[in-house]
Amino acid sequence: MRVLITGGSGFVGQRLCQRLVEAGHRLLVVSRDPEAVRSRLPEGADIRRSVLDFVDTPPEAIVNLAGESIAAKRWSDDQKKRLIDSRVNITRDLVILCEQLKASGNRPPQVMVSASAMGFYGDQGDHEVSEETPPHDEFAHRLCKRWEDTAREAKDFGTRVVLLRIGLVLDAGGGSLQKMLPPFKLGLGGRFGDGKQFMPWIHREDLVRAILFLLDNPELEGPFNGSAPHPVTNAEFTRTLAKALKRPSIFPVPAFVLETAFGEMSRLLLTGADMRPKRLQEAGFQFQFETLDAALADILG
């Protein structure tokens, strides 16, 4: 089938595009600079600058992964607006595409899997979090809620909407782990603050498999937690990564240092949620990498 992907040239998107092509699907990819990303995508991908450029090539499915990195810059008011706009605007364009296709007599996409994030729940302390857990109201939650609410509008045009709340994505060559590895390899890694905050994580391969699973099962809709079944605290993550690299982890970063350096954005590092993939597992999805030990053994060799 024809699958439209936003964020297709990103860390998750590139692997997803590979798997879709291997499964025999046709790729429609949105990028502001098609020539710049062409070498990162499978041969034959149809790359266009705007979602609405695909109105003449109706997709049968959509995967929405676009959005500026939430941890790229300190959260000024302007940066908060950019973070919201980068997610909401392209998601709104996807909804408009569904509307235009239906209005013109074409069939709207059957399904849209739209990324969200573990930040939807805000700080949840140490209790287990499922898709039914009420959120804690803070900026990360409000950002994700705007994003999700916009995606849900596609339901009005007959498109099944899945909201995938993603944890830290782990694999070689990018994502969170790429930023963590240099200090840990030098023996300079350590926990953040008291280390008690939870870090839901997922191997990139399992995340891509989960997206394909959600595309392929027409009875599945609404929110799903995209994280491995066994989240760990920051202190546990630190110890496990250091052990995998055969390095010490004896240099904790005090909370006040992170708060001084990053302001409100430090909440990404100092708070978390014990997020569990309850609905994915109930639907029958099988994780290849259930534990952090297994994931890091695969990634680090």
Tell me the domain boundaries of the chain.
Answer: 2-170+201-228+274-289
CA pair distance 176, 184, nearest whole angstrom = 13
Is 2-170+201-228+274-289 CATH 3.40.50.720? Answer: yes
Task: Give residue 65's pLDDT.
Answer: 97
The reported pTM is: 0.96
Alpha-carbon Rg for the chain, nearest whole angstrom, is 19
CB contact at 8 A, 11 and 175: yes
Give the total residue count for the chain: 301
Higher pLDDT, 252 or 228: 228
pLDDT at 55 over 90: yes
Task: Give residue 162's pLDDT.
Answer: 98
Q: What are phi and psi of 143, to 5 degrees?
A: -60, -50
pLDDT at 176 over 90: no
Task: Give residue 25's pLDDT.
Answer: 97
Report the sign of the C-alpha dihedral through residues 233, 239, 242, 245, in that order: negative
Task: Give residue 110's pLDDT.
Answer: 98
Q: What is the share, in percent, of the chain residues with pLDDT greater than 70?
A: 100
Q: Are strands 232-233 and 198-199 parallel, antiparallel or unpaired?
A: antiparallel
Task: Give residue 83's pLDDT.
Answer: 92
Task: Give residue 166's pLDDT.
Answer: 97
Q: What is the pLDDT of residues 126-162, one digit of tens each?
A: 999 999 999 999 999 999 999 999 999 999 999 999 9
Task: Give residue 40's pLDDT.
Answer: 93
pLDDT at 262 over 90: no
Read off the DSSP letter of residue 297: H
